[in-house]
Structure formats: structure tokens, C-alpha cells
Amino acid sequence: MIFENANKESIVLYELDPTNKKLIFDVRPTDMTFIWNTGEQLEITIDRVPHRLQKDQVMFLTEFHKIDAVDLQTARMVRFNQPFYCIVNHDNEVGSKGFLFFGASAIPVISLAENAVQGFEECWNAFCAELLEADMLQKDMLQSILKRMLIIAARTLRKETNFQKLDQGQSDIVREFNYLVERHFAEHHDVGFYADKLNRSPKTLSNLFSVVSDRAPLNIIHDRIMIHARRQINYTSRSIKEIAYDLGYGDIQTFSRFFKSKEGVSPVQYREQKIMAAN
């Protein structure tokens, strides 16, 4: 079911099964996606990394995640673009920026408890009913349903992580750091830049992240650089020198040393291994 207006604001809902699972790959610029596994198991490969969802688990993706393959029984997918509902501009409404979307950490996956499953079911049914309407209030109604689903998801993720140990202000700092890294990782590799943006000290950031994660702020920056580097090597024919330059490295040797320290092999060796594996 699809809503799209003259302003190119769109949201789509799909009941997925093996016959139409290819719809997952139809990602457009600025699309936000969440996939709710309603079958027993769902296997999906993203950026060459396999993931497995159990029943009533939900995964959150942006346009920047490259979906390679998927195998599922049944699932529900909601996909909306930023013109329809901007995660950044409406962060005060749902609190998902740098958390469900645009986070610099691993792909968020939540496990819905019974009450959350009921909430998702109610929202899904409301979506389906509202998509049959066609009046001037339809977009507003669809946005309100989407917001409820995102709030349920954000609450669930907070309960499943140590974010619940932080107060609102501290939580917002961590989320904003994640979002800033997503925006600036290619130009700024030092924690100090992000600390200045947040009007906090690097030590304060480290203390906050020690509560919610086993990864320090610098590790998060480095991991985000590596995600982009692997994507460029895996999915483009760009030279290692070009990739290094785009990631803010003035010379290929520095980038190669960094890459090898994280991956165990040089960028050239990594590309050769992927080519051999593909053949």
C-alpha cells in the first residue's frame, strides 16, 4: 500500500513473503526503513554482513545500508522518505535520531514484547485503514501512526540497552554524538571535534559511553570510517587512493595502516579477497 503526493512525500507498507521479497531492495534516496519479522526467522545480508531476525524482531535501516540478500517467510515493511517525515527535524517528537536511525553504532534491532507487538499490530491496522482514505488530513493521520510506531520502538530499545541508566539530557548527548559522527566521520576523526560541537569535554563523552556501550567514542568514529571504507571497496571500482582521500586521509599509507589495524589486511588485500570470494 502506497501514499505519495505531489510533493514527493511518500510512505509505503508491504506484507512481504518469498514471492515479493525483492521489494526490500527498492530503496530510494532519503528512505528510512524498518522491517518487522512476523515469520519464525528472517535472514538478511547488509553490507556483506549476515543478520538473523527472530519472530517479532524489528530492524531499522537508512538509505545508506546496502542490502545484498534476504530470505524470509513473512514480514512487514514500512518505508518512508524524509520529505514525508524528517527524523532530524522531528527528533523532539520521537527521539529516534542517532538511535533508531543515523546512529554510528551497529544496525538497531529490537525484540518486541507482547504489549509492543499489540501496539505494532494496532498501528499496522490503522495504517492500512488510513491508506484507503483520500482527503486533506490523510498525511497528518499517517504521520501520527508512524510516530506512534517509532515511539514504541524507541521505548523498547531503551529498555533493552543501558540507555535507561541515563537521564534525558545525557541520553540526548549520546544520540547527538552518534548523529554527528554519521554526518562528519569523513572529515573529522578526533573526539575533540564532536565534544566541542556538544559543548562537552572528551572525558565527559567517554564517561557517558562507558555506561551505554563497550565502545569508546573514538572506537565509534573509527568503526564508522571502516563501514564506509568497506562499502566503497565492496561496491565500487574506485581506487584505494580515492577512497582514502574521501575519508580525509592525505596519503594512502596512513589510510592503509589504519585499515589494516582494524581489518587485519590492507585495503588492497581486502579487495582481492572479496573478488576471489565472488568468483
pTM: 0.89
pLDDT, residue 279, reads 65
- Assess whether pLDDT exceeds 80 at residue 277: no
pLDDT of residue 231: 92
Looking at the chain, list the stretches that DSSP marks H as alpha helix, in order from N- to C-terminal side.
91-94, 114-130, 138-160, 168-184, 191-197, 202-212, 217-235, 240-246, 252-263, 267-278
Maximum Cα–Cα distance across the chain: 59
The reported pLDDT for the residue numbered 265 is 94
Beta bridge partners of 11: 3, 80
pLDDT digits (tens, 9 = 90+) for 35-91: 999 999 999 999 888 999 999 999 999 998 999 999 999 999 999 999 999 999 988
For the chain, what percent of residues have pLDDT higher than 70? 99
Cα gap 25→95, rounded to integer Å: 27
Using the predicted structure, report yes or no on whether residue 22 has a pLDDT greater than 90: yes
Instruction: Provide mean pLDDT across the span 245-264.
Output: 94
- What is the model's pLDDT at position 253? 94
Angle at alpha carbon of residue 100, lines to 120 and 274, rounded to 5°: 115
Q: Output the pLDDT for position 220.
A: 93
Average pLDDT value for residue range 259-278: 88
Q: Is the domain defined by 2-160 classed in CATH 2.60.120.280?
A: yes
**Predicted pLDDT of residue 229:** 94
**pLDDT score of 123 more than 70:** yes
CATH 3.20.20.70 fits domain 166-279: no
**222-248 mean pLDDT:** 94
**Mean local confidence (pLDDT), 22-33:** 94
Using pLDDT thresholds of 50, 70 and 90, give the confidence band for residue 122.
very high
- Structural domain spans, the chain: 2-160, 166-279
Residue 106 has pLDDT above 90, yes or no: no
Q: Tell me the sheet residues that pair with 80.
A: 11, 32
- Predicted confidence at residue 105, as pLDDT, reads 65
**Pairwise CA distance, residues 35 & 25, whole Å:** 12
Quote the pLDDT of residue 2.
87
Matching residue, cell 528472517: 42
Residue 205 exposure: Cα atoms within 13 Å on the Cβ side: 27
Compute the mean pLDDT over every residue in the chain, rounded to the nearest whole number.
92
